[in-house]
Amino acid sequence: MTPEVRSDLHALLRGDLDQLGNDAGRLVTQQRSRRAHEEQTRVEYESIPSPDAVEQIAKEREELRAEIAELEATYAAMEQDIERQQRELERREQALARLLEADVKDQGHRDDRSRILRHSGKVRKTLEIFRRAVIARHVRRIEQLVLESYQQLLRKSALVTRLSINPEDYALTLYGRDEEPLSAERLSAGERQLLAIALLWGLAKASGRPLPTAIDTPLGRLDSVHRMHLVERYLPFASHQILLLSTDEEIAGEYHERLRPWIGHTYQLAYDDKTGATHIAPGYLPKKEAA
C-alpha cells in the first residue's frame, strides 16, 4: 500500500467512514431533488406555448384591453347620462307635484263652481217660492189697506165690498155686493180717480215710512161729496208732508177752511206773458167760493 492509501485507510478507521456515509446520503438526496426539479423544469418548458401562440394570445389580450377601455368609456358616458336623466326626472317630478297641487286647487274651485251651479237652481226656485209667498202676504195686506182707503173716500160705501190684486201681474179687480167682478165702466170718472188715490194711499200705509206726497189738481172730476171726503178724510192724513197743486176753483172757500189747520205754507205760481216765465210768490190765491 502506498502511504496515501494507508493514510486514508487509517482515517476511515478513525471514524471518517460514518461522515462519508452521511455526506453520501446527503448528496444522493440532493441529486434526487435536482432530478425532480429538472423534471419539473422540463415539463414546464414543454408546456410553454409556441411563439405563434403567444403572439396570438397577446393580440387577443390587446383587443380585450381595447374593448374594456371602450366599455369603460361607454359606462362613464352612461353614468353621466343617468345622472342627467336623474336630474331631469327630479325636475319633472317637482313640476308634476306643482301641477298636481295646482290641479287639486283647481279641482276645489271646479267643485265649488259645480256645487254653486248645482244648488243655484234650487236656490232660485226657493227664492222664487219665497218671493211669491212674501208678495202674496204683502198683497193681501195692501188689498185690505187699499179697500179701507177707497171705502173712506167713496160716497157709495157699499159700491165696492172686496178688492183683489193678482200677485203675478198686479192686476186690480173690484167686487160689488154680489161678489161679482165690478167692471171699470160702472165706475164714474171721479170714482176711478178716487181709486187711484186710494191705491197710492194704501201703498203709503203699507210701506210704514213717511213718504212725501205730491198731488196735482186733486178735486178735478169729483162731485161735492167726494171732494169733501177727500178734503176731510184723505188730505190731512195722506202723509207727513204733502205738496198740493190746486187751481183757483178747487181748494177754495169751505175746502180751504177745512184744510187750514194742516196748511204750513202757501205759494202762488204766476205766469208772466212778457218774460214768458213762471214766478213763485208767497201767499195763496184770492178768496173764492168753492165751486
Whole-angstrom CA distances from 289 to 172, 220, 263 are 37, 16, 18
Nine-digit cell string for 214: 205730491
Q: Which of 76-90, 104-118, 132-146, 254-268 has the lowest mean pLDDT?
A: 104-118
Confidence of residue 142 (pLDDT cuts 50, 70, 90): confident
Q: What is the pTM of this model?
A: 0.50
More confidently predicted of 5 and 68: 68
**Residues 196-244 pLDDT 10s:** 888 888 888 888 887 888 888 777 778 888 888 888 888 888 888 888 8
pLDDT on residue 57: 81
Domain spanning 211-291, CATH architecture: 3-Layer(aba) Sandwich (3.40)
Helix, strand, or coil here: 280?
A: strand
CA distances from 42 to 34, 45, 51, 128 (A): 12, 5, 18, 119
Q: What is the pLDDT of residue 25?
A: 80
Q: Which helix (H) or strand (E) holds 244?
A: strand 242-245
What is the structure's pLDDT at 117?
67
Residue 125 pLDDT greater than 80, yes or no: no
Residue 135 has pLDDT above 80, yes or no: no
Calpha distance 167→136 (Å, rounded): 6
**Mean of the pLDDT values across residues 261-276?**
88
Residues 8-20 pLDDT 10s: 667 666 665 567 6
* pLDDT of 290 strictly over 60: no
266/260 Cα distance (integer angstroms): 10
CA–CA separation, 135 and 131 (whole Å):
6
Q: Calculate mean pLDDT across residues 44-69.
A: 81
Q: What pLDDT shows up at residue 126?
A: 65
- Among 13-22, 35-44, 173-182, 212-221, where is mean pLDDT lowest? 13-22
- Domain-wise residue ranges, the chain: 211-291
d(CA 238, CA 214): 10
- Mean pLDDT (the chain, rounded): 81
pLDDT (0 to 100) of residue 112? 72
pLDDT tens column, 62-82: 889 999 999 999 998 898 899
In this prediction, residue 287 carries a pLDDT of 67
If one compares 129 and 94, the residue with the highest pLDDT of the two is 94
